[in-house]
Amino acid sequence: MAARKLYRWAVLLALPLSAAQVPRPAPEFAVKLPNGEQLLLSHFRGKVVALEFLLTTCPACQDASRTLNALYKQYGPRGFQPIGVAFNDMAMMLVPDYIKNLGLTFPVGVGTRESVLDFLQHSPIMRMLVPQLVFVDRKGIIRAQYSADDPFFLDKEKNMRAQIEALLAEGGTSGARQVPVNKHQPAKAKGASSKASPGVK
């Protein structure tokens, strides 16, 4: 019996860290905002969405958020919408300062660890590096998913920009509602990026 259990764990640990299927339809995902409101991913159907799953204490997540914010200012008017989802302990208390300190103009809220793992199709027994970045096209299909250890993040601004431009170029309906966040609206601005170490959750 003990040998059988040991074998089962060996098989599980031999699985890849991320077995997410891409592309796949994006399931509904609810983000709780600091003001108590609930933001649904489906509200942004018709836009190109980048979901950043993050820890507020993670330097790499903070850096990715800064980059997304710069790209939002540039591409927001064309239909690009980033959304931050924090899922570390006491995230609801920490998110307001995360937004303020980074000067973010896109919505950042909180999700449960279980809902995040389910959305990412990530096994709960596997280590997960953050940030996790997911791109959803205008039709609600997850087209790309990147973990912090993916080469994508070695030149994240260039690669994010290329991903956003490719999905925006596909066109589609723009029936998503506008959600004002932090009393700011997208405005043209140049992006910025710097390197940081990924976090682990």
Query: Is 59 within the bounds of a domain?
Result: yes
| Residue 111 clears pLDDT 60, i.e. is over it | yes
Q: Is residue 9 assigned to a domain?
A: no
Instruction: Indicate whether 182 belongs to any domain.
Output: no
Strand pairing category for 80-86 and 108-110: parallel
Q: By the 8 A CB rule, do 57 and 199 touch?
A: yes
74 in a structural domain: yes
Give the burial class of 33: count Cβ atoms within 10 A of its Cβ; 0-12 exposed, 13-18 middle, 19 or more buried. middle
Q: Per-residue pLDDT averaged across 13-39, rounded?
A: 84
Percent of the chain with pLDDT over 90: 75
Sign of the dihedral defined by the CA atoms of residues 42, 92, 105, 102, in that order? negative
pTM reported for the whole predicted model? 0.80
196 pLDDT band, cuts 50/70/90, is very low
Does the pLDDT value for residue 17 go beyond 90?
no
Residue 179 lies inside a defined structural domain of this protein: no
Please, what is the average pLDDT of the chain? 85
> Is there a domain that residue 193 lies in?
no
In the chain, the number of structural domains is 1
Q: How far apart are CA 133 and CA 94, in angstroms?
A: 20
Torsion of CA 156, 157, 162, 165, to 10 degrees: 130
Of 176, 52, 161, nearest to 104 (Cα)? 52
> Quick one: which of 4, 177, 168, 201 has its CA closest to 89?
201
Q: What residues make up the domain containing 57?
A: 17-172
**For residue 33, is pLDDT > 70?**
yes
Q: What φ, ψ does residue 104 adopt, rounded to 5°?
A: -75, 140
* pLDDT at residue 80 in the model: 98
199 pLDDT band, cuts 50/70/90, is confident
Q: Answer whether residue 8 is part of any domain.
A: no
**Model pLDDT for residues 49-75, shown as the tens digit of each residue:** 999 999 999 999 999 999 999 999 999
Give yes or no for residue 44 having a pLDDT over 50.
yes
Residue 5 lies in a domain: no
- Average pLDDT of span 18-33: 92
Domain of 36, CATH number, reads: 3.40.30.10
What is the average per-residue pLDDT within 135-149? 98
